Chains A and B, each alone.
Chain A
């Protein structure tokens, strides 16, 4: 019987999995502080999108609104794309890979990230609803189409990226790669053998 060749989707999945195991610019996400800085930058970019929505709501249609849109969108894209790649690599695709490509620890982290992100999105929707209900002038209210489009984009981006932000924020410093710390490991092993004990922590699953 002939072996089945992997389909485009399977090859794409495999390539993504391999790419996310390769460190790109590890200095940018090696420590928890740097990862949280990346998360902060992404939150700022998402915040700018919401600011852009407000600007369009108030000023569109006008040249000022259009120019503001383009400038803010350029800044947002310049921040988001590299930050998404870096955080995805730092979390090893915990929130983006298929579940069958993750192990039990990663699946647990993914579930926690999605749960927290879901709660945050809920609060965001509550805030957005309050703002909408308290703004405008009832039946005569006019909301520019640009503002509606930007609000939809902002909501979509926030919903899509929040799990990654949560996972990046929560991620503890990963254990150093064995190749890097082989000598240190040997020393630790000797100490560990003397102790005869490691670990102790983390909630059981």
Chain B
């Protein structure tokens, strides 16, 4: 399977900024290295299902709000 087909898009950076949570705080809450949060935000690492669910739980949103197989629509664009 090509790497393109394995892309997982996420909104971690947006959610984190919206909630005012630092990268280190999020990493501590999730029990991961703070660089891992950075790699997740840059899309250079796709989390396990367990970590993805914990991230969604941390932000108190459904997992599909944080992760998607397709790029998230731009704000203000047509639905």
The interface of chain A, by Cβ under 8 A from chain B, is: 92, 102-106, 172, 174-176, 178, 185, 188-189, 192-205
Q: Which residues of A contact B22 (CB under 8 A)?
A: 178
The 3 closest A-B pairs by CB, nearest first: A175-B38, A199-B43, A197-B72
Q: In the complex, A202 Cα to B22 Cα: how many Å?
A: 23
Q: Which residues of B contact A193 (CB under 8 A)?
A: 14, 17-18, 75
**A192-B17, A194-B74 known; A199 vs B35 contact (CB < 8 Å):** no
Q: Which residues of B contact A185 (CB under 8 A)?
A: 17
Cβ of B43 and Cβ of A196 under 8 Å apart?
no
* Interface residue tally on B, bucketed by range: 35 or more
Q: Which residues of A contact B11 (CB under 8 A)?
A: 196-198
Cβ of B46 and Cβ of A174 under 8 Å apart?
no
Cβ of A196 and Cβ of B75 under 8 Å apart?
yes
Q: Which residues of A contact B14 (CB under 8 A)?
A: 189, 192-193, 196-198
Q: Which residues of B contact A198 (CB under 8 A)?
A: 9-14, 41-43
